[in-house]
Structure 1
Amino acid sequence: MTDHTDLSRRQYVKTAALSAAATTALAGCMGGLDDGGDASTGDDGAWRDAELAAVPAAPDDRLYSADNTQSSGETIRHLTWSGYEAANVQRPFEKKFDCQTGVDLFTSNLDAFNRLDDGAWREFDHATFDMAWLPDLAEAGLIRPLDYEAWKPYTFDKYTDLFQRENGYEFAFLDEDYNFDADGQLYGVPQRFGWASFALNTDVVSESDARSYDAAWADEYDVGVYDLPFWGVQIVMLREGIDPYATHTDAEVERIREATVALFENAAGVYADVGSLNTALAAGDIDIAFVSGNWINGSLRRGGRFEYEARVPDEGGVIWVETTTMLKGSHPSVSTNYLAYMQHGITAKNLMWPTVGGTNVVPHQSSIDRLNRRQRTVLRIDDLQDIIDKSRFYTGVPDLDRLVSVWEDAKAEATG
């Protein structure tokens, strides 16, 4: 997962006035997906043509069966992040339901939101955003509510404890004012998650130094700065002990500016994309990548370079959760089947290990349980609890536009 300049809709308004093997495995293991099932789904389909009607879900795993769909020749359209388009993620569904999936990728929540808000919602059925954008999508009337009790067997019943509403997970639920509320209305389902922090060559950076972001400001290490202000300013704030998700005083902004200038002044290189950052790490040109996360250095680990880790130091990291929503407007008959399919343990496991795209974890315990030892090592499954305990959920930076300008000005001051 990546992002560019991003800000909440409320702030924005104010400032603007597969392979055959995968298919076979899926058909054999999806709990009746290929066994005929019950021809009656209990869904008369009326919701599909009511612009913002709540979305039901058929009981008893019936959404895994194609018997009650008229899906032949249909296309399900999904706006989302890299990895979802992988053949081992999409192809089994296309074959089972005799339809096509059109996956359109984005790298910026803000750009994707503006695209939908400008009318492109008519072009898609599903959209997967970072969870902080759920209130903006709902308030703009772009996404449908979901029937929690009906969808629970397909979704939350499969998740780890972290993602259970009874344990306080609120980032899929909204109250009447579109604020996160675990007792509120369900508007999206968690699909994939990860963390932002920094990446280290653990063969070079000492364990004691790895405990603080100060290592990225230290003279003894070669530091590469990923020029990604969206995440960069958040991690700088954590290092400075400043709450990223509050509106910031002028004094706090000045502290952020000074720290960011010092970061760039200490940098051995500034990198514009994931590929060049990972190349520098792998070549030994840099010892530390600031910022990074499992979605960035996971490709190196998947290639066997386990010395590279996205560490969460004592100052903490930021957890993002990609959350899938169903858009307003008409939907094909296969739309609820697709959401159920994407949430199934086998599909979610393939999304952790896609044929293209990043290497990230999912909230599905059943998927995590399917990983082999090497996959668990690459994904750092055994470190997840410690990472989560040290991190906080990303909920949106209210003055991000100002802080992005601070980042850009600091870069120019330090490198110009």
Structure 2
Amino acid sequence: MRISRRTFLQGSSAAASLAVAAPVLLGGPRRALAARDKELNILCWEGYNTDDVLGPFRDAHEGITVRAESGTSDPDMINKLRAGEVNVWDLINLNQPWARQQLLPEGLIKPLNKERFMPYFAKMAPEFADPAYPLAFAANGDLIGMPQRYGPFSFVVNTDKISREMAEDQGWKLFLDPKLKDRYGVLTYDNWNLIHMCLTGDLNPFKPLDEKGFATFTDIAKQIFAGSKLLTDDLVR
């Protein structure tokens, strides 16, 4: 099956549903080891520390001091906990798979109260509600995180140089243009780039690749990385 760039861009709702299969696109909070009655410290992805997100909570809980700090990557936030900041943060917001594979085995988080939080699954999108999303649970059934968002991860352009219309029309193939060499950077987020390079090569990222597909993927990857001016895992850069 092949997905054209125009079909992918036009079918945003379908893409959002497909992204459920890529749990790295899914964020969720976890309770950390610190404990305070009138203070809540949150380590989170950008956007979750804004007044739009925290304002309603502050209004509903007067007298509670809420402090939020954003990280630059999942490993960065996890390393903060490993360095002893489990005594600083009450809640951590990062991509879901890290909870079960890294945080829980290392004792950096503790399970949530299932009686309190399980009813929220009934209010979620069907992909998470029935049955409850598996990455939110430990192997023994403990609830270790609550999914809170999902969706596609796209690229960003400087609209003073590249119009939004051009970006939407070209999609990921934009980065194959020789004129764009040394004018873009790549976020080196482990497997995050796999879906993007598949889409660049008109490959279905949700099905196994055959030999021809792997050859196409390899060529695309070489072109994209060779044309980039910057490789970094720091999205702030």
Q: TM-score range by the shorter chain?
A: 0.5 to 0.7
Instruction: Encode CA deviations 1:109-157: one digit per residue, 9 max, x unaligned.
Output: 111111102211011111111102011111111112123343133x223
CA distance in 2, matches of 1:105, 1:191: 17
Matches within 5 A, 1:184-199: 184-198=141-155
Aligned to 1:102: 67
Deviation at 1:236, TM superposition (A): 2.8
Distance 1:202 1:108, change over 3 A: closer
Change (3 A) 1:127 1:275: closer
Return closer, same or farther for 1:226/1:165 CA change in 2, 3 Å cut-off: farther
Contact 1:146 1:185 in 2 (8 A): yes
Is residue 2:185 matched to residue 1:226?
yes
SS of 1:171's partner is helix
Q: Residues 38-64 of structure 1: CA distance to partner in whole angstroms, max 9, x if unpaired?
A: xxxxxxxxxx9xx79xxxxxxxxxxxx
Which of 132, 139, 160 is residue 97 of structure 2 equivalent to?
132
Q: What do residues 305-329 of structure 1 show as CA deviations (whole Å, max 9, x unaligned)?
A: xxxxxxxxxxxxxxxxxxxxxxxxx
Partners of 2:99 and 2:144 within 8 A in 1: yes
Kindly tell me: are residues 206 and 81 of structure 1, through their superposed partners in 2, closer, same or farther at Cα, counting changes over 3 Å?
Answer: closer
Match for 1:227: what amino acid? V
Taking only the aligned residue pairs, the percentage that are identical comes to 24
Q: Larger Cα Rg: Structure 1 or Structure 2?
A: 1
Question: 1:3-402 to 2 correspondence within 5 Å?
Answer: 74-95=38-59, 96-135=61-100, 136-153=102-119, 155-166=120-131, 169-176=133-140, 184-198=141-155, 201=163, 203-204=165-166, 207=169, 209-210=170-171, 213-218=172-177, 222=180, 224-230=183-189, 231-232=192-193, 235-236=196-197, 239=200, 258-264=219-225
Tell me which moved more, 140-149 or 222-231: 222-231
| Pair 203,271 (structure 1): closer, same or farther in 2 beyond 3 Å | farther
> Using a 3 Å threshold, how does the CA distance of structure 1 residues 202 and 102 change in structure 2: closer, same or farther?
closer
CA shift digits 1:202-234 (9 cap, x unpaired): 533685x54xx4443145x75753331214465
Partner of 2:8: none
Are residues 123 and 270 of structure 1, via their aligned partners in 2, closer, same or farther at CA, if it must alter by over 3 Å? closer
C-alpha spacing 1:185/1:124, structure 2 compared with 1 (3 Å): same
Decide whether aligned partners of structure 1 residues 81 and 217 sit closer, same or farther in structure 2, where only a CA change above 3 A counts: same
- Measure the CA separation in 2 of the matches of 1:115 and 1:239: 35
- Give unpaired runs (5+ residues) of structure 2: 1-30, 158-162, 209-213
Residue pair 1:116, 1:142 contacting (<8 A) in 2 also: yes
What CA distance in whole angstroms lies between the structure 2 residues aligned with 1:206 and 1:234?
A: 17
Conserved? CA contact 2:175–2:224, under 8 Å? yes
Preserved CA contact (<8 Å) 2:123 2:129: no
Shift of 1:165: 3.9
Runs of 4+ off more than 6 Å = 254-257, 271-276
1:169-192 CA-to-partner distances (Å, cap 9, x unmatched) read 32212214xxxxxxx331101123
SS at match of 2:152: strand
Q: AA paired with 2:76?
A: D
Give the deviation of 1:265 after TM superposition.
Answer: 5.2
Change (3 A) 1:204 1:85: closer
Looking at structure 1, the residues matched to 168 and 129 of structure 2 have their Cα atoms a distance apart, in angstroms, of 36
Q: How many residues end up aligned between the 2 structures?
A: 188
